[in-house]
Amino acid sequence: MHLTTVWFILIAVLWTGYFVLEGFDFGVGILMPLLGDDDTDRRVLVNTIGPVWDGNEVWLLTAGGATFAAFPEWYASLFSGFYLPLLLILLALIVRGVAFEFRGKIDSDRWRRNWDRAIFWGSAVPALLWGVAFANIVRGVPLDAEHQFTGTLLTLLNPFGLLGGLTTLGVFTLHGAVFVALKTTGELRDRALRLIGLISLPVAAIAAGFLIWTQISYGRAEVWPVALLAAVALLAGIFAARAGREGWAFLGTALATVFTVVMLFGNLWPNVLPSSTAAANSLTVHNAASSAYTLGVMTWVAVVFTPIVLAYQAWTYWVFRRRISRSDIAVPS
When pLDDT is cut at 50, 70 and 90, the band that residue 136 belongs to is very high
C-alpha distances in Å from residue 130, one per residue of 86, 126, 136: 8, 6, 10
- Identity (one letter) of the amino acid at 296? G
The answer to whether residues 36 and 42 touch, using CB atoms and an 8 Å cutoff, is: yes
Tens digit of pLDDT for each residue in 289-317? Answer: 888 888 899 899 888 888 888 898 899 88
Interior angle at CA 116, CA 34 and CA 26, nearest 5: 70
C-alpha distances in Å from residue 205, one per residue of 24, 170, 208, 231, 311: 20, 10, 5, 10, 36
What is the rounded CA–CA span in Å between residue 157 and residue 168?
15
Pairing of strands 283-284, 271-273: antiparallel
More confident residue, 235 or 151: 235
The answer to whether residues 35 and 188 touch, using CB atoms and an 8 Å cutoff, is: yes
What is the rounded CA–CA span in Å between residue 82 and residue 84?
6
Instruction: Evaluate if residue 320 carries a pLDDT over 90.
Output: no
Provide mean pLDDT across the span 78-90: 91
When pLDDT is cut at 50, 70 and 90, the band that residue 331 belongs to is low
pLDDT at 325: 84
The answer to whether residues 22 and 14 touch, using CB atoms and an 8 Å cutoff, is: no
Instruction: Evaluate if residue 333 carries a pLDDT over 50.
Output: no
More confident residue, 15 or 53: 15
Q: What number of other Cβ atoms are within 10 A of residue 101's Cβ?
A: 10
C-alpha distances in Å from residue 275, one per residue of 14, 90, 164: 24, 25, 19
Closest CA to 227 of 237, 238, 219: 219
Average pLDDT, the chain: 91
Instruction: Evaluate if residue 330 carries a pLDDT over 70.
Output: no
Percent pLDDT > 90 in the chain is 65
Identify the helix (H) or strand (E) that includes residue 37. none
pTM exceeding the 0.85 threshold for the entire prediction: yes
